[in-house]
Structure 1
Amino acid sequence: MKFSIVTITYNRAKLIADTIQSVIAQDFTDFEHIIIDDGSTDETETVVSSFHESRIRYFRYPHGNKRSFLRNEGIRKSQGENICILDSDDIWMSNKLSRMKAIFETHPDVDFIFHNIEFQPQRTIDGPLFPYSQSFKGSIFKNLLADKILPFPVFTITRKAVDKIGLFDERLIDGQHDLYLRAASQLIAFFETEKLTVMRKHGQNISDNINFAHYDDFIVSLEKLRRMKLISAWRFREQLSRVYGKNAYIYMNDKELPAAKKFYGKSFLAAPASIRGLKSAFMCLSLYLKGAN
């Protein structure tokens, strides 16, 4: 059983060495580490080359590609039976691959594995990252839609599953949530409660740079699921209301009240009979009365 680890990177010379070292230190050694560089202008390439490790395969591209395309390039170049995604600022525990191998061997019907995360430095978040005290196997589709499962880049997927559900959608900037949704709707998943990845928080985290295009990506994914009849019309509208509500919340935090009012209004119109829609209507009215026009 061979694993292909796909890491995309850009200007992570100060962080990627620890990432690579955590892969080399795995107690299961049948793997290849494919690093796709989006045209780094720092010493990233020098750092990668310094390892002199035959299992590392480095590819450099001109800068400016979508993360969905870069990850797909890594998958297309990979040869393993199972594909792992590892960001260039994260670190694996030494038993990550051996744990994935054990799960696949114990549960041959599983094609998609994700697991818990440790943050460094530790941070306070709203409740547990994943609200599960035990590992489990089964469908994660409803939990993903309910935000009980967050689409972090800590998953492992079999190659045959990629052949079934497809690669990252390259129309999307990131495509990660979209891939999770397709996997959740078509595959049997396994959640491992053990923390097998350390996610280092720093000023350059992509996830910290809120980009409304990510919400546009999610809407495209929802529309795709609706066309495939994997979600009902009501579920689609409710999820659309949730996405618009998140946009409004961000604008509220940024004190951009007219924009917040606009998105609360869109949230209400998407699902006017839902609790979320009614809350958005109240917020929209409150902002209107405050003169946010």
Structure 2
Amino acid sequence: MSDAVIDILQGRTRDLGGGEIVRRVLPVAHRLMVGPFIFFDHMGPWNLAPGRGVDVRPHPHIGLSTVTYLFEGRIDHRDSLGSVQTIVPGDVNWMTAGRGIAHSERSPADERAAGPQVHGIQSWVALPEADEECEPAFIHYPGATLPRSAGDGVRLCVIAGEAYGLRSPVATHSPTFYVEAHLAAGARLTLPTQYSERALYVVDGSVSAAGQSFTEGMLPVFAAGAEVEIVADRDTHLMLLGGEPLGARTVWWNFVSSRPERIEQAKADWLAQRFAAVPGETEFIPLPER
């Protein structure tokens, strides 16, 4: 491993039930976060049978923002604030849990009838200590509002933060960057240097960086300040992510906090059904035993 590469994470396969496979990259025991990113799941691609669909029943969160970004398919979001929003590829659903929120994610009825195709990234960003107990909020950003650029075999979309001379309208609570990149074979791209913690994730394809090759499902983490040039070995789809570190966090199930006792309170609140309900939903995911 070169001095520029300080860690390499490999997505671990998880079956969510019914054959819905994800690659879970963050968190891992030795590295909970990259910048504020504390959870990173690569969903799919799923090709579900007619009549089936994604059905993530209502569940709670505290101390984080969830970020849903799709490459393919559609998902209906509902939450305890009363938000109802269908997300499509290129849009961003940014839900800030703060002191507590519950939400569900399900395939729309028309996609369910035909057999949904779903592919995307579900990530969480932890909140700074001063904002962990903020009021919950949900904001949808249509894909047309996100800045994009194209040239020299590289197509970019800045989902959050500022990079490559582009600034996203997505509001974040701490310095964060999140970029979708498509590189044609042989194309080159330099990783932003203005953030302390930086990584890339290979959705599909293969790239070389810092003298090493990275393929689908790999997330290398790069040293602060290192000049990192990415070269596409073939047509490649990447996510670039990172930001500034937030300090120690505890993560348990869907809860994140700088205070372990706050996690225990959230467990008790969900068990006692003290979280606000999601309007129109009658199901929920019980608190795990472990």
TM-score by length of 2: 0.26
Higher fraction of strand: 2
Q: Judging by fraction of residues, say which structure has more helix.
A: 1
Which has the higher Rg, Structure 1 or Structure 2?
1
TM-score using structure 1 length: 0.26
